[in-house]
Amino acid sequence: MGKVIAIVGMCGSGKSIATEILENELGYKKVYFGGVTMEKIKEENLEVTPENEKYIREKLRSELGMGAFAKILLPRIKEYSKDNDVVLDGLYSWDEYKILSEEIDNIKVIAVVVDKNIRYSRLNERQIRGLSIEQAMNRDISEIENIAKGGPIAFADYFILNNGDMDLYRNRLLEIINEI
């Protein structure tokens, strides 16, 4: 059975960058939690906007519980991890973490943390799915209050500070992977 690494962090922290490194450089199979939201937006013929993303995330959780995304993706994670190392991009809620940790013995969580103002600036400048500072702040508050996003970050096995230099970020990630 392969390793299962969950990358957690607030929006704009650099989760996708860590996932890309593991996927492209080390051959991990990626499971993108946000992809569930995008699939559901498409199914409902909605435009991809921060408001519609929030609506779908909260709708799924109201229908399936706070562990909705883990419940939806667990079969895929188990299938991939039979023969591959797997990286989970964007484990969000405490309930999702509990479900996965009960079902997957070897899961490790890496939290990517960034000073809030740096994240907001990066999100404001981001070309794809960028957010204004106000939108980013509102998303943070919503995710903390409505989906218990802080738990997996606080309880992570490893932390990466991503306030600046990409080489330091990449090196810390690879150091953690070697330790695991």
Asked if pLDDT for residue 129 goes beyond 80, the answer is no
Reported pTM: 0.90
Give the rounded distance of the alpha carbon of 66 from its chain centre: 15
Residue-level pLDDT at 92: 86
Residue 52 vs residue 130, higher pLDDT? 52
Stretch (H or E) spanning 134: helix 133-147
CATH number at residue 40: 3.40.50.300
User: Mean of the pLDDT values across residues 109-121?
Assistant: 96
pLDDT band at residue 128 using 50, 70 and 90 as cut-offs: confident
Asked if pLDDT for residue 151 goes beyond 80, the answer is yes
Residue-level pLDDT at 1: 85
Burial-class residue 159 by CB neighbours within 10 Å (0-12, 13-18, 19+): middle
Residues in the chain: 180
Per-residue pLDDT tens digits for 162-175: 998 999 999 999 99
Average pLDDT, the chain: 93
The residue with tokens 């009960």 is 102
Residue-level pLDDT at 146: 81
Task: Please state the domain count of the chain.
Answer: 1
Range of the domain at 64: 4-179
SS3 138: helix
User: Mean of the pLDDT values across residues 89-93?
Assistant: 88
Report the alpha-carbon distance of residue 50 to residue 54 in Å, rounded. Answer: 6
Lowest mean pLDDT among 6-15, 120-129, 149-158: 120-129
User: Mean of the pLDDT values across residues 90-102?
Assistant: 93
Residue-level pLDDT at 85: 96
